[in-house]
Amino acid sequence: MVIFSSVTKIFPNGDEVLSKLDFHITAGQMVIITGKSGSGKTTIGRLLIGDLQPTEGSISVDGENIVGAKQKDLIPLRRKIGTVFQDYKIIPDKTTYENIALNLEVASFPKDEINDKVEKILEIVGIPSKKHLFPSQLSGGELQRASLARAVATEPHILFADEPTGNLDKVTSKEIFELLKKINKAGTTVIIATHNQDLLDLGKLHHISLDKGKIVKDTHPSKKKSVKTKDSQPKTATKKKKK
């Protein structure tokens, strides 16, 4: 379970990226966070893994408040959340195999297990033949798959994918979304931050729409009703916040 309660993020330059954000994500859900560039989608991801601290509010993951957590306390959190970064963050001088294995090494998986897991995940994401190639030798779609493979290799509880189809063509984007659905069906809570909502069948998914750092739509099943405002005012349909 992920809970954002009245989360505000103001950057040192004074930009208010998120404003009084309230939402919660139930375990096992597939959540789509949509919004234009600069609406705060990436910031949500960074807050979720403790890369940023909110200016106000609280964030809890699996019942633990992560606001103000020390660096060492963020380590188990980050291992719990797989992240597909918008810029992939694939290490350039390591092969696809090594990049995926690295995440398993970070999570202290035994060496003999690492090989099996990497081979398996490469099959799942559909790039087994690219395992010895370096990032510079991969296409955008392959890089995205490699990034996805690295994020899910450790079988995290939650997967946050930031613009997973950002620079991809329609066909590849659909394939990536299908892959994310597959991962979700396997039990992982998947959070996708994207501006490319055309490819998604949003009707069946938990959809949070952002505009200028405020929630303009949240279709969580627990909401009494989903509210969409024309003027993009911060009119979230969350239940009354418990103090």
Residues near another protein (CB under 8 A) are 49, 51, 71-72, 74-79, 83, 85, 89, 91, 93, 102-103, 105-107, 150
CB of 97 to another protein, least distance (A): 13
Q: How far apart are CA 224 and CA 216, in angstroms?
A: 15
Considering just the CA atoms, what is the radius of gyration of the chain in Å? 18
Q: Which is nearer to another protein, 93 or 231 (CB)?
A: 93
Q: Which is nearer to another protein, 141 or 156 (CB)?
A: 156
Query: In the chain, at which residue ranges do the beta strands (DSSP E only) sit?
Result: 2-10, 16-25, 30-34, 56-61, 64-65, 81-84, 158-162, 189-194, 206-211, 214-218
Q: Which is nearer to another protein, 67 or 75 (CB)?
A: 75
Q: Greatest CA span in the chain, whole angstroms?
A: 56
DSSP-derived pairing of the beta strands 158-162 and 81-84: parallel
Q: Which is nearer to another protein, 15 or 105 (CB)?
A: 105
CB of 20 to another protein, least distance (A): 26
CB of 117 to another protein, least distance (A): 15
CB of 94 to another protein, least distance (A): 9
End-to-end CA distance of the chain: 18
Q: What is the DSSP letter of 44?
A: H
Q: Pick from 46, 127, 39, 29: which is nearest to 87 by CA?
A: 46
CB of 81 to another protein, least distance (A): 8
For residue 97, the one-letter residue type is Y
Q: Which is nearer to another protein, 48 or 192 (CB)?
A: 48
